[in-house]
Amino acid sequence: MNVAYHLRRLGVESYIVSRVGNDIYGEELKALLVGMGLSTTYVQTDTVYKTSEVIATPSKNNEMLYEIVKPVAWDFITADEDNHSLIKQADMFVFGSLVARNDVTRETLFTLLDQARFKLFDVNFRPPHYTRDLIEYLLKKADAVKLNEGELAIIGSWLADKKETASESIARIQDHYQLAEIIVTKGGEGASYYTLNERYDYQAYPIEIKDTVGSGDSFLAAFIAQKLLGKPIDDILDYAAALGAYVTSQDGANPDYRLTDLNRFIWEKKLERAKWK
């Protein structure tokens, strides 16, 4: 949802394939999507299972522990003519691994992957909702993968019995899973983008952090939007880093903003960089 929201803000037509329960929370979620400018055409309604919920509990060291309740409606997304048609027409299909925790939605995902033109896998490890076999299957199906440093370390450990550098792990992963493109987000250290022959590194924009939730999703949305426009990779990474930083400087994963707000932010940050040089 976060990625779709930011894509819409950036002028890219985007849709969500999901499922909610026939309850008040499902209605509220659909209303939220409409308020964001997103269509609910491909959001199914389940008459048996409730709308999803996540229970957040603070631990002793003030970290939050999350229970992603199951089973819920999005565990039972079904393949139908509508979402088949949508995926076939889409320039890109973005998917995660968490949705494949239940066999019904997992089979739907596998079916839709076979229909997609370009598949971008946004890895999201949420124990205990994944297995190595599942992740490896999805990696082999993907055209491009986005992951963070922690996820890179885990996948890299599957393929090597010794500690490797990030570049060595990426090369091994690309070769093993036949992946042409990998994006690695590194928080305050920026991001790296790997093709089969080149590596691009981009520093994060210096900001005062307000909320890190959704920063990776906004980075990915900006990356996709610029990639679909055919922009040079340096411009793609700059724009993605800028939106990720902008969202991190705001409250919440989906702040209300216009392109003029983002462009002003980029201009101000580049002025700051020029002053320090």
Q: Where are the alpha helices (DSSP H) in the chain?
A: 2-9, 24-35, 81-89, 103-113, 132-141, 149-159, 166-177, 215-228, 233-248, 259-276
In degrees, rounded to 5, the angle at the alpha carbon of residue 98 between the alpha carbons of residues 94 and 101 is 125
Domain boundaries, the chain: 2-20+76-276
The answer to whether 91 and 118 have CB atoms below 8 angstroms apart is yes
- Pick from 184, 192, 196: nearest CA to 146: 184
Per-residue pLDDT of the chain in tens (277 residues, 90 and over written 9):
999 999 999 999 999 999 999 999 999 999 999 999 999 999 999 999 999 998 877 766 656 677 899 999 999 999 999 999 999 999 999 999 999 999 999 999 999 999 999 999 999 888 889 999 999 999 999 999 999 999 999 999 999 988 889 999 999 999 999 999 999 998 888 899 999 999 999 988 888 888 777 888 999 999 999 999 999 999 999 999 999 999 989 988 889 999 999 999 989 887 876 665 5
Q: Full-prediction pTM beyond 0.75?
A: yes
Measuring CA to CA, how many Å separate 106 from each of 76, 97, 112, 165?
Answer: 9, 9, 10, 33
Options 3.50.50.60, 3.40.1190.20, 3.40.50.970, 3.30.540.10; which CATH number does 2-20+76-276 get?
Answer: 3.40.1190.20
Q: Give residue-wise pLDDT tens across range 203-215.
A: 888 888 887 778 8
**Cross-strand partners of 183:** 146, 193
